[in-house]
Homo-oligomer: A and B are copies of this chain.
């Protein structure tokens, strides 16, 4: 998932692999390996990339995917709510309206909260008291 994101974001800004490699302070082949999925950048590099493209690390990793246990009804509910213009209408940020990009980021976060909420209902965290100590 991370390779696709990197390529998508890079091409959207009309940058070459060398441009990004120079920004990161690494060589071209090293960055190529990221987009090829052969190697993975460390945390520091990932955070640099996320800030460079103004996205979250979660987005780079593809965390905001629909979980496997999601029902079709839940997917529909989420989409309906996110696509409702009223959801973020009048939602100002320190006096200034949100841009479309910012709304997208906010929707991504809300999507994550949405699935987390359902996940908590499905798998409440409870300590495993009963061990295998015969």
Each complex incorporates copies of this chain amounting to 2
Mask: chain A, 21-64; 1 = CB below 8 Å from B; 0 = not: 01000000000000000001011001100111010111001010
- Chain B residue contacts of A120, Cβ below 8 A: 54
B50 near A63: Cβ-Cβ < 8 Å = yes
- Chain B residue contacts of A57, Cβ below 8 A: 56-58, 61, 63
Tell me which of B93, B105, B117 contacts A102 (CB under 8 A). B117
B81 near A94: Cβ-Cβ < 8 Å = yes
Tell me which of B13, B56, B105 contacts A125 (CB under 8 A). B13
- Chain B residue contacts of A13, Cβ below 8 A: 125, 127
**Which B-chain residue is minimally distant from A51 (CB atoms)?**
B119
Given the interface contacts A57-B57, A57-B63, does A110 sit within 8 Å of B93 by beta carbon? yes
A70 interface hit (Cβ, 8 Å): no
- Please report the C-alpha to C-alpha distance between residue A54 and residue B106 in the assembled complex, in whole angstroms: 17
- Please report the C-alpha to C-alpha distance between residue A113 and residue B109 in the assembled complex, in whole angstroms: 11
Where the two chains meet, the residues of A that have a C-beta atom closer than 8 Å to any C-beta of B are 2, 13-15, 19, 22, 40, 42-43, 46-47, 50-52, 54, 56-58, 61, 63, 77-78, 81, 93-94, 98, 102, 105-106, 109-110, 112-114, 116-117, 119-120, 125, 127-128
User: Which 7 residue pairs across A and B have the least CB separation, nearest first?
Assistant: A109-B109, A54-B116, A57-B58, A57-B57, A56-B58, A102-B113, A81-B94
